[in-house]
Chain A
Amino acid sequence: MQNSNTLPKPGESTWLWLIKIITGVLIIGILVLHFIVNHYLGPEGLLTFDEILQYYRNYPIVPIMEGFFLVFVVSHSLIGVRSIILDLNPSRQFLRVLDVILVVIGVVSIVYGIWLLGAILAQAPPA
């Protein structure tokens, strides 16, 4: 078996590679919690709106955890997309444009996700 796709590729800085690894490990850990909260605490599997609101209010650590999870998973996915595209031998100019696009997608996703967490918490408590 080759061991060639496990190290930084040309064009991928060691920092990006390291972030991909660290977020990968963190995602595995938080994914387990994400699954327990969202699929095993609810009586019917998927949580209803009121159940989500109750968990967020009773356990403030849950929305905080989801916020961190969002940052890790968005970073990991976008660095991963970049590394897949690197395999297609993009030109230097293309890579520069791509990097801007990926950063914009990342920032928009994270801002949107944190706004969404706030919007959920701001909803009126269930009757």
Chain B
Amino acid sequence: MQSETRKVTLSAILRWFDPRKTEAGNWAFILNRVSAIGLTIYLYLHLIILGKLAQGPEAYDSFIDIVRDPIFVFGEFLVVAGGFIHGLNGIRVILNSFGIGVPYQKQLFFGLMAVAVIASVIIGIRMFTV
């Protein structure tokens, strides 16, 4: 009974991400929501881990050495990309909420997401090379 329910829920979620029946508006919604959840988790981890600053230089600097590892840099890259996606898409949402550019929201969405991709690539290259 329980596994049946879980199956239904899983297929419902998967259908949510099915690109065949998905319009641009749904993609905007999915991207905004997924990036929101990711950024929220990051925010509170960030606040908790910065508590090491109160423990003095050794505690904080040894933590900084750990997060220079490429795995963490990749995680940070996801945060940066999520920030660009959420922030730029958010600008479109706000403009549309006040009735600005509503007929062009599809073009605005794709244009802003193109900016997000380009900006993420530029920052990503810098993150992995500096």
Contact = CB atoms under 8 A, between A and B. Distances in A.
Interface of A: 1-3, 5-7, 21, 24-25, 27-28, 31, 44-50, 52, 70, 73-74, 77, 80-81, 84, 109, 112-113, 116, 119-120, 123, 126
A44 B109 CA distance: 35
Interface residues of B, number: 38
B53 A119 contact: yes
B68 interface: yes
B61 to A, nearest CB: 5
Contact of B24 (A1, A3, A31, A116): A1
Contact of B40 (A2, A80, A112, A123): A80
Given A1-B24, A28-B90, A52-B53, 19 more contacts: A1-B23, A5-B93, A7-B97, A24-B87, A45-B127, A45-B130, A47-B64, A49-B56, A49-B57, A49-B60, A52-B60, A74-B43, A77-B36, A113-B47, A116-B51, A119-B53, A123-B56, A123-B57, A126-B57
B102 to A, nearest CB: 6
Q: Interface of chain B, helix or strand or loop or mixed?
A: helix
Interface string B94-108: 101100001001100
A113 B64 CA distance: 19
Contact of B36 (A1, A70, A84, A112): A84
Given A21-B94, A48-B61, A119-B53, A84 B33 contact: yes
Contact of B61 (A24, A31, A49): A49
Given A1-B23, A28-B91, A119-B54, A77 B96 contact: no
18 contacts: A1-B24, A1-B106, A3-B102, A5-B29, A24-B94, A27-B87, A28-B90, A28-B91, A31-B87, A48-B57, A49-B61, A52-B60, A73-B43, A80-B36, A116-B51, A119-B53, A120-B54, A126-B57
Given A49-B56, A123-B56, A109 B44 contact: yes
